[in-house]
Amino acid sequence: MMRQYELVERVTSYDPEADEDLLNRAYIYAMKAHGNQTRASGEAYFNHPLEVAAILTEMKLDTATIAAALLHDTVEDTEATQQELVEKFGEEIASLVDGLTKIKKLDMVTKEATQAENLRKLLLAMSKDVRVLLVKLADRLHNMRTLNHVKPEKRLRIAQETMEIYAPLAGRMGMQLIRDEMEDIAFQILNPDANKTIRDRLKRLHAESGDLLREIEQDLTRVLTDAGISASVKGREKRAYSIWRKMERKHLALDQLSDIFAFRVLVETVNDCYLALGNVHQTWRAVPEKFKDYISNPKQNDYRSLHTIVVGPHSMRVEMQIRTKLMHEIAERGVAAHALYKDVSEAKLAQLGVRVPAAESNAYRWLRHLMEVLQEGDSPKEFLEHTRLELFHDQVFCFTPKGQLIALPRGATPIDFAYAVHTSVGDSCVGCKVNGRHAPLVTRLNNGDEVEIVRSDAQTPPPAWEAIAITGKAKAAIRRATRAAIRKQFAGIGREIIESLVSKQKHVLTDKELAAAVPRLGHKNVDDALAAVGRGDLAGIDVLKALGLNIDEKEVRASRRKIGGAKKDAEGRASLPVRGAAAGVALKIHPVTGAVPGERIVGIVTPGEGITIYPIFAQALEKFDQEPERWVDLTWGVAEEGMRFPARLTITLINEVGALAQVTQVIGEHGGNIDELQLQARHGVRDFFDLTVLVEVFDIRHLNDIMNGLKSRPLVSAVDRVSG
């Protein structure tokens, strides 16, 4: 374990003005707080925050960040409180620790939802102070280094999460050293066979090539020295995971890879980068279409370098990266390296190949863009999807007709391009031209493509675009537009319902009256309230009461039936509120499965009998697969207030006293009505019996509440819908 004085010496070696007293106090406080706690390996728990702090000293980070690293687990895993940290160490350090503390009091059903909310909190915290991210990545890196002490199933989960979230996040913030080590460890755990095969192959290549790496280093150094260029040349073999990723992306076998060796050339200035490139290409033959200029077109994580592949000595393909020393620091350390040139003049930065200050870097701009996605209030599943998409690293560079550069993930389409330009451009997109020619919107864009978006103000993005787009921004915008269109449709239905009700008193409804009533209805604006009425979430009579109108409730129900399509049959019973069927056709719900508002339904026509309504999951629909002419696409309308619908459930109960009572109690507590009930013992099984219940509910939400309530009871083993 690192001693207290050793940590202080590490920090003062690169920051003589460091607050030694703060470091000493944080060290002692964290050591006492963690006390006798131990890790899975058996070592003292305090060794973990100490190692995290040590990793950060290698990045030459400030005193506050090192102190936060020492304290980062105190609130989460000890008796320490956030207020106590504020009092002892100040708001700055306490805020850093808070950003790193997981949200414990989460009432989430799934691990995915919990993961999403904690990741959301971390990203929001790091958008305010990027040092939160630096501590988190150092924390995850040390956890990965000690992952062999964790149980196998947990080890796999952590490795997968690291590969999907934290390693790409380190990459997007330019911290390549941390990303490489995380990926190598995760690859060993997730795919041990592939990892061993590639490493064995690299060992054989190294043995066969002998001193070839050193020979190429010497030849390259000589070529550059003769040209008057001061350069440092270093050769290396590619990492196992990097090779594996290239094999997967290009569908190559291991023996087909020719550029296993890579050389890094570090020079002093940007001019030297291009001079070195010219001399290399004059000495060895360049491989066509393998040159990339990331100095002129930096990656989104601020990475800048020249990449080329040449046929070097012994006819071996050699990959080269040519960059300045400062570019190399940024390539290796990313946002953590910005402190290295915070006091350097802009003129000097330009000469060294750094064009923007840290506060305006591409990595920071990407982070702000990601925060915009977070504000959309997506579900945990959508949030994790967006985050993973935004972490996608490989890029293509395309241009607008005016020359604006747009960086997109590899595989992006013109739809992604349109939304990258601006959300309004994407929403109004109706077509595109790629390199001056009309092209389908499903076209995969390539490096250097010029894309022109054809727009129309009458256009709204169709939901099918979501399957075509690959960027999180485009997918989120399409979902948002789809929800807005559905909301607009429901608002129109709701307005029709309310206007029909108030017209009976010869009253003309105005938006001003509705706006005044909205606060009493618990909605933000008129459209929200009308959409709620259209969906059936808000009763029309409640709107009338909020408007101060006094209308007989029988008239309200009559108007709802008229608008919603629930007409009376010959015996005065309310007919089913379903849209899509021809007028006058008899409708009935399939008796085996039932069907309730809110779920997808279809109709099957039987000549002389009418239409039978099935939920889309009904197995009985399979027998009509060869009779498409009998299928009718139906949707639910607005049901008469208080109207109930049947749904058949099968419930597996433990054979104990009180099991049946629990079922009836739950259904009663949730306002359901039992229409049929059948109890059947399982053949040859005495511990369980099956119960089939036909329950009457208002809609799918009501049904789900009942099913969730049943599942929570100790004597209920399983609850499912009967599918026929």
Whether 555 shows a pLDDT value over 60: the answer reads no
Q: Is residue 431 part of a domain?
A: no
pLDDT at 191 over 60: yes
Distances, alpha carbon 550 to alpha carbons 417, 539, 547, 579, in Å: 54, 15, 9, 30
Token reading at 344: 């350097």
Residues 279 and 302 both lie in one domain: yes
Question: Which pLDDT band holds residue 632 (cuts at 50, 70, 90)?
Answer: confident
Residue with tokens 């079922």: 663
Which pLDDT belongs to residue 104?
Answer: 46
Say yes or no to pLDDT of 487 above 80.
no
Least confident of 117-121, 164-168, 205-209, 616-620: 117-121
Cβ proximity of 301 and 172 under 8 Å? yes
568 pLDDT exceeds 60? no
Q: Is the pLDDT of residue 425 over 90?
A: yes
Q: In this model, does residue 596 exceed pLDDT 90?
A: yes
- Say yes or no: 182 and 206 in one domain: no
CA distance 585 to 580: 11
Task: Tell me, yes or no, whether 157 and 259 share the same domain.
Answer: no
Please report whether residue 382 resides in a domain.
no
Q: What is the pLDDT of residue 346?
A: 53
Domain for residue 381, yes or no?
no
As for how many domains the chain has, the answer is 5
Task: Please determine, for residue 106, whether its predicted confidence score (pLDDT) is greater than 50.
Answer: no
CATH number of the domain within which 221 lies: 3.30.460.10
Q: Which of 127, 162, 188 is the last residue of a domain?
A: 188
Q: Quick one: pLDDT at residue 364?
A: 58
Reported residue count of the chain is: 724
Q: Give pLDDT, residue 48.
A: 92
Report the C-alpha gap between 135 and 332 in whole angstroms.
Answer: 16
**Domain match, 343 and 207 both:** yes
Q: What is the pLDDT of residue 345?
A: 52
129 is catalytic: no
Kindly state whether residues 523 and 556 are assigned to the same domain: yes
Distances (CA, A) of 64 to 20, 61, 134, 135: 11, 8, 12, 11
Residues 346 and 218 in one domain: yes
Q: How many whole angstroms separate alpha carbon 629 and alpha carbon 631?
A: 6
In a domain, 473, yes or no: no
pLDDT tens-digit map of 658-704: 888 888 889 988 888 888 888 887 655 667 888 999 999 999 989 99
Judge whether residue 551 has pLDDT over 70: no
In terms of domains, do 179 and 276 share one?
no
Q: Are residues 33 and 179 in the same domain?
A: yes
**Binning pLDDT at 50, 70 and 90, where does residue 117 land?**
low
Backbone angles phi, psi at 16, to 5 degrees: -60, -20
Same domain, 57 and 170: yes
Is the residue at 44 inside a domain? yes
**According to the per-residue pLDDT averaged within each range, which of 120-124, 147-151, 511-515 is highest?**
147-151
459 domain residue, yes or no: no
Distance, CA of 696 to CA of 219 (rounded, Å): 83
> Which of 298, 326, 359 is at the close of a domain?
359
pLDDT, tens digit (0-9, with 9 covering 90-100), for 39-65: 888 888 999 999 999 999 988 888 999
467 part of a folded domain: no
CB atoms within 10 A of CB 37: 13
Indicate whether 552 pLDDT > 70. no
Q: Is the pLDDT of residue 563 over 50?
A: no
Residue 159 shares a structural domain with residue 202 = no
Domain end residue (candidates: 137, 154, 188): 188
Quick one: which of 448, 449, 450, 405 has its CA closest to 292? 448
Handedness of CA 570, 571, 573, 575 (dihedral sign): negative
Mean pLDDT of 711-718: 87
CA angle 128, 129, 134 (to 5 degrees): 140
State the Cα–Cα distance between residues 538 and 530, nearest whole angstrom: 8
Taking each helix axis from N to C end, the angle separating 131-145 and 91-100, rounded to the nearest 10 degrees, works out to 50
Same domain, 658 and 560: no
Is 313 a member of any domain? yes
Mean predicted confidence (pLDDT) in 602-630 = 84
- Is 646's pLDDT higher than 90? yes
Asked which of 135-139, 192-196, 209-213 is least confident by mean pLDDT, the reply is 209-213
User: What's the domain range around 665?
Assistant: 645-721
Buried b (16+ CB within 10 A) or exposed e, 41-61: eeebbbbbbbbbbbbbbebbb
Judging by beta carbons within 10 Å of its beta carbon (0-12, 13-18, 19+), is residue 638 exposed, middle or buried? Answer: buried
Find the mean pLDDT for residues 253-263. Answer: 70
**Residue 77 a catalytic site member:** yes
Q: Which of 539, 541, 559 is nearest to 496 (CA)?
A: 559
Mean pLDDT of the region 624-643 = 79
pLDDT score, position 566? 37
**What's the confidence (pLDDT) of residue 504?**
67
> Above pLDDT 90, what percent of the chain?
26
Say if residue 332's pLDDT is above 90.
no
Q: How many CB atoms lie within 10 A of CB 158?
A: 19
- Please determine, for residue 569, whether its predicted confidence score (pLDDT) is greater than 60: no
Are 629 and 659 contained in the same domain?
Answer: no
Q: Mean pLDDT across the stretch 331-352?
A: 58
- Amino acid identity of 16? P
Residue closest to 293 by CA, chosen among 283, 313, 282, 307: 307
Annotated active-site residue in 6, 76, 200, 511: 76
Identify the weakest region by mean pLDDT among 164-178, 407-421, 450-464, 566-580: 566-580
Measured CA to CA, the distance from residue 195 to residue 8 in angstroms comes to 39
Catalytic residue from among 15, 77, 215, 219: 77
For residue 127, the domain's CATH number is 1.10.3210.10
Mean pLDDT over residues 478-494, rounded?
Answer: 78
